[in-house]
Amino acid sequence: MIRICIPILILLMAGCTTKKGSITYHPNKPSQKYPSEQLAMSSSNVYKPNGELHATMRPYTVMGKQYSPTVVHVGDTFNGRASWYGPDFHGKSTSNGEAYDMYAMTAAHKTLPINTVVRVTNTDNNRQTIVRINDRGPFVESRIIDLSYAAAQQIGVAQTGTANVTLEVLGFEPPSSRSIDLISIAKGPRESVLNNFYVQIGSYERFEGALQTKRKYDDFKGYSAIIKDSEYNNKRLFRVWLGGFKSEAEARDFISRGYFEGSFIIGE
C-alpha cells in the first residue's frame, strides 16, 4: 500500500490555472485560497438502493458541518451571513484561475458551481446586489458567501464586516464568461452540476516534493496528476491531486481501495 501523509490541520486551498496533467509554478504570484477540507460522504442520503447517486444529494462535511447541494436550480435560495474580502487578495488567483478583482461583482461560495450568478439580499437593510461565483470559501461557521469589496459596498457589508443575507440563484454563465449577462442567463440552463472531482494524494511545503509525487503517480490507474499552488496561514503549499474521475462515486470508490492513506475528495 502506498502511504503519503497529508497534514490534518491544513484546511484551506488556493485556486490556480493548472490544467489536467500540467504543472503550474508561479514563485512571484502566490495563489489566494482553495477548499481542501476533507469530504466525509454520508452514504445514507447520497446513494439510492441500486447504488446510484441521488442527483441533488451530494453533500460533504467540513469539521462536522455539512454543505449541500452541488446540484442547484434557478430559484434556489440559501440563508446565512455574508462577509467580504478586498485589498489583501486583489490581483491574486481565484479558484477558477482568474485574478481576483475587488472592484468586480464576484464572490466566493463553498459549493455553488463556478459561474453561478446569484442575487444577494442584505436582510438587515433590504439592499441587493448581483454577483458571479468565481472562488471558494468562506469556511467560517454560519458564513455562506464572501463578497468582493464592490459588491459588499453596494449592500452595506463592507461597512459592517458581515451581515445576514439571502442568496437566490438567477442562472449560470458559461465557463469562459467573466461577466454577468442577465438576459443571456435567463435563456440558459435551469440547473448546474458540480461535476469536476479530484482526489488529493499529497501536500508539500517544497515544490520539489510535489513535483516528485506528481511525476511518480501521473497516469496512476489511468488518472492524471496535477499540482495545485496554494496558500494557508501565509505559508505556501503545493498539493498533488489526481483528476479524471467521471463522478463523485468513482472518486469515492478509488479512495476506498486504500491506495493513498489520508486521501480525500475535492469538488470543483
Claim to verify: residue 145 and residue 231 sit in the same structural domain: no
Answer yes or no: is 64 within a domain: no
The enclosing domain of 147 has a CATH number of 2.40.40.10
**227: amino acid identity, one letter:** I
**Alpha carbon distance 135, 99 (integer Å):** 10
> Do 125 and 222 have their domain in common?
no
- 83 near 147, Cβ under 8 Å? yes
Question: Which of 193, 208, 230 is a domain's end point?
Answer: 193
184 and 225 assigned to the same domain: no
**Amino acid occupying residue 159:** Q
| Residue 65 in domain | no
Q: Which three cell numbers stand for residue 182?
A: 442577465
Q: CATH number for the domain including 255? A: 3.30.70.1070
Give me the residues of the chain with pLDDT under 70, please. Answer: 1-71, 193-195, 231-234, 246-249, 267-268
Q: How far, in whole angstroms, is CA 170 from its chain's centroid?
A: 19
**Structural domain count of the chain:** 2
Same domain, 87 and 177: yes
Same domain, 184 and 82: yes
What are the pLDDT digits (tens) for 207-238?
A: 999 999 999 999 899 899 999 887 666 678 88
- Which are the contacts of 234, defined by CB distance < 8 A and separation ≥ 6? none
Residues 118 and 219 placed together within one structural domain of the fold: no
- Residue 210 shares a structural domain with residue 189: no
The domain in which residue 53 lies consists of 1-59+194-268
- For residues 179 and 202, membership in a common domain is answered with no
The verdict on 150 and 170 lying in the same domain is: yes
